[in-house]
Structure 1
Amino acid sequence: MTEQLTNRKKEVIVTYAIRSAQPEDGTKIVEFYNRVGGETDYLSFGHDEYSLSAESLTQAIVQMKKFKGTCMFLVIEGKEILGIGTIDSSSKPRYRHVGTLGIVISQSHTGNGLGRVLMNTLIDWAKTNGQTEKISLVTRADNERAIALYKKVGFEQEGTFYRDVYDGERYYDNLSMALYL
């Protein structure tokens, strides 16, 4: 799928494609995560702190193709990754109906509607995979833009994890949110 978005505030036109991650994307994905980890404090990792190597991620993408409750979509402009969205489901029968969502958009491309488009892509995928009945996510309670997006696409707050994140100076609460399909 190739789309074009116009952000009226910035007069920027973004032409992009959304596609499933492929094993050959492993290195670029790790580079993207390591870069965006330094762009925001809302991720669980910082700059150059992404926990998987390119080799490990490549193997994970290969394995991902074997499970119908797990996916990774990339937002691409040319050869550059602008964003990544994932849904990961447990292989345990009692939990496989729940997919855990993760999404990140490069700070230079936020505010263009890419997050909403990627969220809708993930939700549409989950509705048709034959397994996912609930999508859950965890976000910092002070991440107002993300929370607004999640609510806009139908997520509701399920709970609060108090003092769940510590950045070396202060604690932050996390919210648990879910969308029932």
Structure 2
Amino acid sequence: MQAKITNKRETIFIAQYQRKIVGWLVIQSPQRKRLAHKGTFGMMVLNKYRGLSKLLIENLLKWAKYNPYIEKISLGVFSTNERAIALYKKMGFVEEGRKINEIKLHDNEYIDDVLMYKMVVKD
């Protein structure tokens, strides 16, 4: 976690309720110069606190808006996670592709990894 704190292109947001961590969002950015303009995020929120997902993403977008390095935010989401996909679309993310049968749930049961992105609007 210390690396996230000191790397200006990466950060982590924590959601707490009554001193308990109920969710987090982390964004990572590659070191390679040609890819360093983008960050990919992952997020986890306990089911009971799903409403905090939007707040975590809003904080990410605000952070990225003022971050001089990040111009594009990307994510991957299970194709079966319709609620998350709807939230991402509502927040301006668009699908840019899919990794077909990328996730194996059980024997002979696969789902796609939906790749989405949003360009960061700077002031």
| Same-fold call, TM cutoff 0.5 | yes
Quote the offset at 1:150 in angstroms: 0.3
- Mapped to 1, the partners of 2:52 and 2:15 lie a distance apart of 8
- Corresponding residue to 2:39 among 99, 105, 108: 99
Residue in 1 that maps onto 2:118: 179
- Mapped to 1, the partners of 2:26 and 2:40 lie a distance apart of 8
TM-score (norm 1): 0.64
Alignment of 1:141 with 2:60, yes or no, is no
Residue in 1 that maps onto 2:2: 62
| Secondary structure of 2:35's aligned partner | coil
- Mapped to 1, the partners of 2:47 and 2:71 lie a distance apart of 31
Amino acid at match of 2:83: R
- Mapped to 2, the partners of 1:152 and 1:94 lie a distance apart of 29
- Corresponding residue to 2:15 among 45, 69, 75: 75
| Secondary structure of 1:65's aligned partner | helix
Residue in 1 that maps onto 2:97: 159
Residue in 1 that maps onto 2:65: 127
Quote the offset at 1:168 in angstroms: 2.5
- Mapped to 2, the partners of 1:127 and 1:104 lie a distance apart of 22
Quote the offset at 1:64 in angstroms: 1.4
Residue in 2 that maps onto 1:116: 54
- Mapped to 2, the partners of 1:149 and 1:73 lie a distance apart of 18
* Structure-to-structure mapping, 1:3-42, within 5 angstroms: none
**Which stretches in structure 1 are left out of the alignment for 5+ residues?**
1-60
Q: Describe the superposition over 1:91-140 as per-residue Cα deviations: whole angstroms up to 9, x where unpaired.
A: 11111111001111101212xx3111111001111111111000000111
- Mapped to 1, the partners of 2:103 and 2:86 lie a distance apart of 20
| Secondary structure of 1:100's aligned partner | strand
| Secondary structure of 1:102's aligned partner | strand
**Which stretches in structure 2 are left out of the alignment for 5+ residues?**
none
- Mapped to 2, the partners of 1:62 and 1:142 lie a distance apart of 34
Q: Describe the superposition over 1:30-79 as per-residue Cα deviations: whole angstroms up to 9, x where unpaired.
A: xxxxxxxxxxxxxxxxxxxxxxxxxxxxxxx1111221110001001121
